[in-house]
């Protein structure tokens, strides 16, 4: 089955590349043996969008036409996914045709030195433990076909650096595709301070990894504001809505700053806490000042930004927030949510 599909795709690609004028679905169906064997020849009509099959045999022929249309659309999408640029052209009679112009599908010679190839290999290694491993390997294979020297191994070790980005959340792949295609998504999201998830309708902008966790930055339609969501708090499946959203997306720098701010990187003030002596070393490393109280507790002044409450909760009974009052309230709310399960 895999060999048959590969042969069918290759024949379709050759037809589209070899024609000087757009070919209709009917012409492509009659030109490719696999289509003729599976569905028979076309019946003198181009089955373009909004056009029904020509009059002829009954329901059996119509079903065959529908099956061919579905297979053709899948094959066309597969070729585009492989990198073939396929144009859709409509003539004066409203008939839709397809072709792949050679100039649109011809890449200039690719020349990479050893350092550039090593950089590409390093990037590909990043995704070897994630669901993008296949795509990364496929990209390197395409570079091989386009002229990457055979004596250069992008995967060759170039030092002790062995990077990888862990991706364990099932929501990552559908959200990545939604960001790419600018499609609105719907998912159930449980805030750290909530006992139950809420449904969110989001226009996704970008995914960012921060401190080993993935975050989605986007526009929350229900709240009419920019929001950031931690993927590990998304429950259930991510559903994608049909059609692309047209709202403007901030540039990459703005999105990254937003993610960093919501993840707790940006601090615009300080907080005062008590910490049990001998504990909380990550917090102590960030402290602006530390004062020993002599009663088994120390008093720390630490940078205060979005996400600090979630971090403080992780230290449990070893931390007591003194001020500001809103931070203390946020920590108490999170602890109560944890207690409720």
> What is the average pLDDT across 82-107?
84
Q: Of all residues in the chain, what percent carry a pLDDT higher than 90?
A: 30
Strands (E), the chain: 87-90, 96-99, 183-189, 198-210, 213-220, 225-230, 234-244, 267-276, 289-292, 297-305, 319-323
Residue 321 has pLDDT above 90, yes or no: yes
CA–CA separation, 2 and 170 (whole Å): 27
Collapsing DSSP to helix, strand or coil, 191 comes out as coil
Residue 58 has pLDDT above 60, yes or no: no
95 or 193, greater pLDDT: 95
Q: Residue 175 class from Cβ within 10 Å (0-12 exposed, 13-18 middle, 19+ buried)?
A: buried
Mean model confidence pLDDT for the chain: 79
Least confident of 157-166, 257-266, 297-306: 157-166
pLDDT in tens, 12-56: 999 999 898 999 999 999 999 999 988 887 665 444 443 444 444
> What is the average pLDDT across 144-153?
55
Question: For residue 340, which of 198, 195, 235 has the smallest C-alpha distance?
Answer: 195
pLDDT of residue 269: 86
Indicate the DSSP class of residue 192: T
CA–CA separation, 2 and 4 (whole Å): 5
Sheet containing 183-189: order of strands: 225-230, 213-220, 198-210, 183-189, 234-244
CA–CA separation, 43 and 56 (whole Å): 8
Sheet containing 267-276: order of strands: 289-292, 297-305, 267-276, 319-323
Q: Of all residues in the chain, what percent carry a pLDDT higher than 70?
A: 70
Collapsing DSSP to helix, strand or coil, 194 comes out as coil
Global pTM exceeds 0.85: no
Question: For residue 261, which of 313, 223, 226 has the smallest C-alpha distance?
Answer: 226
């Amino acid at each position: 089955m895999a060999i048959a599909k590969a042969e069918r795709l290759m024949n379709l690609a050759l037809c589209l590349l070899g024609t000087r004028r757009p070919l209709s679905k009917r012409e492509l169906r009659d030109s490719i043996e696999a289509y003729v064997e599976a569905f028979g020849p076309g019946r003198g009509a181009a089955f373009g969008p909004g056009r029904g099959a020509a009059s002829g045999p009954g329901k059996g022929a119509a079903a065959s036409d529908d099956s061919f249309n579905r297979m053709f659309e899948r094959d066309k999408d597969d070729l585009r996914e492989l990198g073939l640029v396929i144009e859709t052209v409509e003539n004066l009679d409203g008939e839709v045709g397809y072709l792949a112009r050679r100039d649109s599908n011809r890449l200039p010679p690719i020349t990479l030195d050893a350092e550039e190839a090593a950089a590409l290999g390093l990037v590909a290694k990043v995704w070897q433990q994630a669901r993008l491993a296949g795509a990364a390997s496929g990209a390197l294979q395409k570079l091989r076909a386009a002229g990457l020297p055979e004596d250069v191994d992008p995967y060759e070790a170039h030092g002790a650096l062995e990077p990888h980005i862990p991706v364990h959340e099932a929501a990552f792949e559908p959200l990545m595709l939604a960001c790419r295609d600018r499609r609105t998504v719907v998912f159930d999201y449980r805030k750290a301070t909530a006992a139950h998830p809420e449904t969110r309708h989001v226009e996704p902008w970008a995914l960012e990894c921060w401190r080993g966790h993935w975050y989605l930055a986007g526009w929350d339609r229900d709240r009419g504001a920019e929001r950031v969501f931690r993927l590990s708090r998304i429950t259930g499946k991510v559903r994608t809505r049909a059609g692309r959203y047209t709202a403007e997306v901030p540039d990459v720098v703005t999105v990254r700053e937003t993610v960093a701010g919501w993840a707790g990187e940006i601090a615009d003030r300080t907080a005062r806490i008590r910490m049990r002596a001998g504990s909380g070393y990550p917090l102590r490393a960030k402290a602006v000042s530390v004062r020993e109280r002599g009663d088994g507790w120390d008093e720390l002044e630490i940078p205060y930004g979005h996400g600090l409450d979630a971090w403080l909760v992780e230290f449990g009974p070893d931390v007591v927030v003194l001020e500001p009052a809103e931070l203390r309230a946020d920590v108490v709310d999170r602890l109560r949510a944890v207690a409720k399960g």
